[in-house]
Amino acid sequence: MRLTREQAVEAITREMRGASCLMCALLAGKPMVLAQTEHAVALLPRYGLVRGHAIVATRAHRTRFDEVETAAWQSVSRLALEVARITERELAPARCYVASLGTARDDIPMTCSHLHQHVVPVHDADARPAEVLTWAHGVERLSDDDGRLLLEQLGPAVRAALNG
Ligand SMILES: [Zn+2]
């Protein structure tokens, strides 16, 4: 189901129940986990840019590159790579973007400063990153049923690739 940015922000704010970090709230809830390592978790967000959008985050709350452990960021990157490989294979998008949107000083508002990467399958061949990596065009709400389908389609292969 497609929501406007405002509808998604309102729903997420409600689901965070006052938590200060969206990603920590997600990880502490019942995330749809594709795969995980000691330091990183790959999940399907309830509110994504498109169907099949995955997020890979550090397990610990880290908001700056100068505080994240090298092993943790390597683990995030490795996991994002495997998710992207399986996403390309299974969902056959026109493009598959992997993006780390970086950090921000504490006084700069950001949706989520907890370090993470996005894996975004793009089915519109003409879409450019700036058009895709924004909520300006709406947000895809992943249903429980579709989430389960995607977890079954992508999860085992990502976990096998990690262990292979
Ligand atoms: Zn956090």
Note the pLDDT tens digit of each residue in 91-105: 999 999 999 877 777
Residue 137 has pLDDT above 90, yes or no: no
Task: Give strand ranges (E) for 10-108.
Answer: 32-36, 40-44, 47-48, 54-58, 95-100
Positive or negative torsion for Cα 127, 132, 138, 144: positive
Q: How far apart are CA 148 and CA 132, in angstroms?
A: 24
Of 56, 57, 44, 55, residue with least CA distance to 142: 44
Q: Ligand 1 mean position to 100 CA, how many Å?
A: 15
Residue 74 has pLDDT above 70, yes or no: yes
Yes or no: say if 143 and 64 are a contact pair by the CB < 8 Å rule.
no
pTM for the complete prediction? 0.91
Residue 109 has pLDDT above 70, yes or no: no
Q: Ligand 1 mean position to 136 CA, how many Å?
A: 24
Q: Ligand 1 mean position to 21 CA, how many Å?
A: 5
